[in-house]
Amino acid sequence: MKKTIALLLAVLMILSMVACAANTPAKTEEPATTQTETTTPDTTETEEPAATEEPATEEHEPATLEVFLAQVDWADAWDELEARFEEQHPWISIEHVGLGADADFLQQRLAANDLPDAIQLNNGVMMNAMVEQNLLTDLTNWECAKVMPKAYADAYTFDGKLVGMCQGAAFSTMFYNMDILNEAGWDTVPTCWDELIQCCKDIKEKTGVAPLVTAAGKHTTCWMIYELILANVAGEELGNYEDDFKNGTFDFTKYPEATTRLQEIAPYFLEGTASALEEDAATYMSDGLAAMCLAGNWNGGMILGSLENGAASLPPFGAAGELPYISTSPEDAFCVTENPDRTPAEQEALEIFFNWLFEGENFQLIQNARGTVPVITSMTEDQIVLPEAMIPVAAEMGSAPFVLMGFNLYSAEFKDAVMRALERCGLQAEGYAADLAPVDTGNLRDHISHTVDASEPAAYVGTNTEYAPYVELGTGIHYPGGRDTPWIYQDAKGDWHRTNGQRPQPFIKPAVADHAQTYRNIIEDELKNG
């Protein structure tokens, strides 16, 4: 197997849903068979019983469906789901492909005109492109569409066509280290903005712990906080503010209270954590470095699981006595691809599978493995598995007003500029790497390439040359974790040599790390002038 070197040039990270808390429901045992003794009255003459016809067995043409399943965090649950479906529908086989793969997998299959029958997609660049090419099936009249609430169906509806069934919802949550809150004199969590600010003051003054951190990751703390503040200040007046953000006409001065609130809470953040990763935020909470964490519901298992005394609630950014506005976003959707060569039996099998998948008792397998909130109406409350502290939060989420956030915040022009910037960065990095690559036959230098992943979005530069890792990282005593002593080997001519290994000659890593400012300049140029 060829070894590949790849280094990521991350530019813009758009919201994506991460799963948490795998939990597969136990199988229900079959009830024991009971036997009832019957007696037959005495008769002087017995007649032969009439022959009973065997019930007719419905015949189906066998069909095999290919499903692109990118997310690995609930692969085990999917295996169980496939087995359950195939047991109930023995003429249909489900084969999942691309597990853990990125958008390149689908792009390659698309280029080969060989898309899987069903795929997972988010509402982003690739979905829009496939819709424009009429590559996704309209599910509007399928039975499964009846269990999708309008708000989440709308997220995957284009020109009146429902092209994806949303697999769940993500929403903003506030998590608490209750031991620290108790030390600061708080027995309960804040329920409104004024209480939040007072709680932050008490924590800072009485414990010396940073009151707040965010699991921002792909977003900055400022933006996460500001969006929620803005929604709670403006309420219904805010309307479809995304359009104004897209075209650059949003009037920030119209809502001075939002700016005031942002300034009010800014001093209470843990320093150096403006874009803290989810794992880091969980560690800050468990280590007692921060008392509260604003994050997504998908972080619940990670954060609450690290605390001996934790709690969760909706972000307390509203007024006293009111449910706050929260930020929410639909997760990836299951889509059916268009294929003129698909047989009627395969088309029928696809519809059977989708309708079956979004029945509550079946979809429960996926949803419980993910630990997020389902959006289908066929799933009852008792079928939902979440960390205990998240259950009342999920219940409130259903009635709380919300603002939608996600990839659609950014205009098509903005996305195009990002793609152009990534392509330029990839080409530039490719050139730097070629200049640094040691030359013998020229094979290594000639096989350096780059790819751009629109779903990240990100650019990758690397090579699939087999010996490239040895050149980049070194061998023997020079490779970290490699041999710590010299060795003897015999070459093709039969001569013997003693060696310590090969010193590293990095050409990929410095091509990226040593030219960060160049890539920033490229990105800024495209975003400003593109």
477: in domain:
yes
CATH code, domain with 122: 3.40.190.10
416: in domain:
yes
Q: How far apart (Å, rounded) are the C-alpha atoms in residues 59 and 318?
A: 59
The pLDDT of residue 240: 65
Q: How far apart (Å, rounded) are the C-alpha atoms in residues 89 and 84?
A: 9
For residues 160 and 200, state if they share a domain.
no
Q: How far apart (Å, rounded) are the C-alpha atoms in residues 313 and 294?
A: 10
Domain count, the chain: 3
For residues 177 and 158, state if they share a domain.
no
For residues 217 and 326, state if they share a domain.
yes
Q: DSSP labels for 148-173?
A: S-HHHHHTTEETTEE--EE--EEEEE
Segments of the chain scoring below 50 in pLDDT:
1-57, 406-412
476: in domain:
yes
For residues 368 and 262, state if they share a domain.
no
For residues 147 and 208, state if they share a domain.
no
For residues 231 and 157, state if they share a domain.
no
385: in domain:
no
The pLDDT of residue 459: 86
Give the pTM: 0.55
The pLDDT of residue 372: 66
For residues 249 and 239, state if they share a domain.
yes
Q: Amino acid identity of 366?
A: I
Phi-psi region of 232 (alpha: psi -120 to 50; beta: other; left: phi over 0): alpha
For residues 450 and 484, state if they share a domain.
yes
For residues 75 and 116, state if they share a domain.
yes
11: in domain:
no
For residues 201 and 276, state if they share a domain.
yes
513: in domain:
yes
3: in domain:
no
For residues 455 and 504, state if they share a domain.
yes
The pLDDT of residue 489: 83
For residues 174 and 313, state if they share a domain.
yes
The pLDDT of residue 177: 96
The pLDDT of residue 50: 47
In the three-class reduction of DSSP (H, G, I as helix; E, B as strand; rest coil), residue 144 is classed as helix
Q: Which domain holds residue 507?
A: 411-529
398: in domain:
no
Tokens standing for residue 498:
């003693």
